[in-house]
Structure 1
Amino acid sequence: MAAVITIAAVDDDRMLISGLTAWVDSAPDLRLVATVESVDQLMQRDMGTIDVVVLDLMLADNSDPATNVRRIIRAGPKVLVATVMADPAHMLATHAAGAAGYLTKNHDLAELAAMIRDIHRGQQMFPSELAFAIAHDSRPNKPRLSDQELRLLVAYASGMTLDSAARRTSIRPATAKHYLERVKEKYRSVGRPTYTKLDLANRVREDGLVAGDPPPP
C-alpha cells in the first residue's frame, strides 16, 4: 500500500478548500491535515507532520509570495503554489525561492492531486508556463534559452548524468551534448563565462532556476 501523503492548504478561498477536502477524502493516499488562511497560522502547526503545502499565491494578508515559500521550505514541507493567473514575475520569484510546483486554479482537482504526488516523489515540476516566463525574463545578462534547453539545463545541473538528463528531456545524448554546448555559448555571449558542469550549476542557481547549492562537479 502506498504511503499516505499529508497535505496542508494555505488559502482563503473557501470553495477551493471545500473541493480539496472532498477530493482528498476519496483518495486513500492523500490526507489533508491543515487548512489555514496565512503562513503565520500554518507555522503554529506541527510542520514535521506535513509533506506538501498547497500555497495560494496572493493571500489576504498581502504577505510576499516568495517569502512565504522560503518560510515553509525552511520548516520542512515541499510547496506547490496555486494561483488564479500565471503571473511571470511571481512565477519566477516563487520558483527561485524553492517552490516545487506552480499550478493555475483553472486545472481540476485531479490534476492538483497528481502534481502533489509527483512533488512528494521528488520530481521537479517545470510547467510550460514557467519555461515561457524564464525564457522571456528581461533581467540583464540573461541568455534567451529555448524550452528544451531550459529543461535539459535544469536536469543536468541538478546532478544528473548527461544520459539521464537526455532521457528526462526525451532527446538523444548526442543532441543533449550539443544543446549544452549551445547553452554555454549563450551564457558566454552575455558576459557570463560558462565552460563546465559546475559553471552551469552556478548559472542555474544564480538565475533562480533551482534552489540550493550546486552539485559536485
Structure 2
Amino acid sequence: METIRILLVEDDPPTRRRLHEALASDPGFDVASVDNIADARAAIAADPPKVLVTDLELPDGHGTALTAEVRANHPGIEVLVISVLCDERNVVAAIAAGASGYIVKDALPEDIGDTVRQVLQGHSPLSAAIARYILRRLQPDTPRVQEGNAQLGLTRREIDILWGIAKGLTYNEIADGLGISRKTVPNYIKSIYRKLEVNSRGEAVFEALTRNLIQL
C-alpha cells in the first residue's frame, strides 16, 4: 500500500500535537508538522505531500492564501483546512481558494483520518452548516448579490490592498509593493472591511472572490 504523505500546518502546539498524533496513528500516513506558512512552503518545495492540512489563522499569513498558492503551483496536492465550529465564512473563503474540505479542530481522532481519506477518494467533506452557508451565498435573488460590485464603493487602491490581503502579504509588504506608507495600510483595511461588511481577512477574501473583485 502506498504511504500517503501529509503536511500539517498548525501554530497552536497542543492542537498540532493532537492532530499529528491522530493522523500518525494511521499506518498508511506519513505525517510532518510545521507551525507557519514559510516552513510549509519550504517543506512543500523539498518534498510535496499528497495532502496539506492547514489552519487558517497563522502567524505569518492566512491559510486561504497558502491554499490558493498550493492549488496554483501544486494542483496534485489536496488541501484540507482546519476550522472551529461557526467559522463558515473563513472556511468557505478557503474552499473558494481551492480547499477540498475541512477538519473541525475538536474532531475525534478516527474522524480526522477518515476525512483525509474521503478527500483522496474525490469527496469534499463539508458540514451541514457550511453547505447551507454556500447555498445562501449562491442564491441569485439575495440582496447582497443584487447590489453588485459597483455599489460597494471600493477604490482601485483598496482593490490592490485587498489582493495583497488575499495573498497573505504583511502590511509592510503591501505598503512597499504599492509605494505607500505602512501607517496608511490599516486605515485602508478598515475601510475595506466596512464596505464589504466583514470582520476578518478570511471573510474579506471570501467576499472578494465571490464578487469577482480579485482573482488569486
Alignment TM class, shorter chain as reference: 0.5 to 0.7
Q: Distance in 1 between matches of 2:7 and 2:55?
A: 11
Q: Distance in 1 between matches of 2:49 and 2:132?
A: 31
- Matching residue of 1:70: 68
- Matching residue of 1:123: 123
Secondary structure at the aligned position of 2:79 is classed as: strand
**1:107, distance to aligned residue in structure 2 (A):** 1.3
**1:49, distance to aligned residue in structure 2 (A):** 3.2
Equivalences for 1:43-192 in 2 at 5 Å?
A: 43-47=41-45, 48-61=47-60, 63-76=61-74, 77-137=77-137, 139-141=144-146
* Structure 2 unaligned blocks of 5 or more: 148-208, 212-216
**1:131, distance to aligned residue in structure 2 (A):** 0.9
Q: Distance in 1 between matches of 2:49 and 2:62?
A: 22
8 Å CA contact 2:81, 2:101 repeated in 1: yes
Q: Deviations over 1:1-43 (max 9, x none)?
A: x3221101111121122223333333111110x2111222111
**1:92, distance to aligned residue in structure 2 (A):** 2.0
Q: Distance in 1 between matches of 2:85 and 2:59?
A: 16
Secondary structure at the aligned position of 1:130 is classed as: helix
Runs ≥4 in structure 1, deviation > 3 angstroms? 46-49
- Matching residue of 1:25: 24
Quote the RMSD (CA, aligned, Å): 2.4
Q: Distance in 1 between matches of 2:44 and 2:9?
A: 14
Q: Distance in 1 between matches of 2:86 and 2:5?
A: 26
Secondary structure at the aligned position of 2:125 is classed as: coil
**1:207, distance to aligned residue in structure 2 (A):** 5.2
Which has the bigger relative contact order, CA under 8 A and spacing at least 6?
2
Q: Name the structure with the higher helix share.
A: 2
8 Å CA contact 1:10, 1:37 repeated in 2: yes
**1:44, distance to aligned residue in structure 2 (A):** 1.0
Secondary structure at the aligned position of 1:3 is classed as: coil
Could you state the TM-score of these two structures normalised by the residue count of structure 2?
0.58
Secondary structure at the aligned position of 2:59 is classed as: coil
Matched positions, count:
142
Secondary structure at the aligned position of 1:45 is classed as: helix
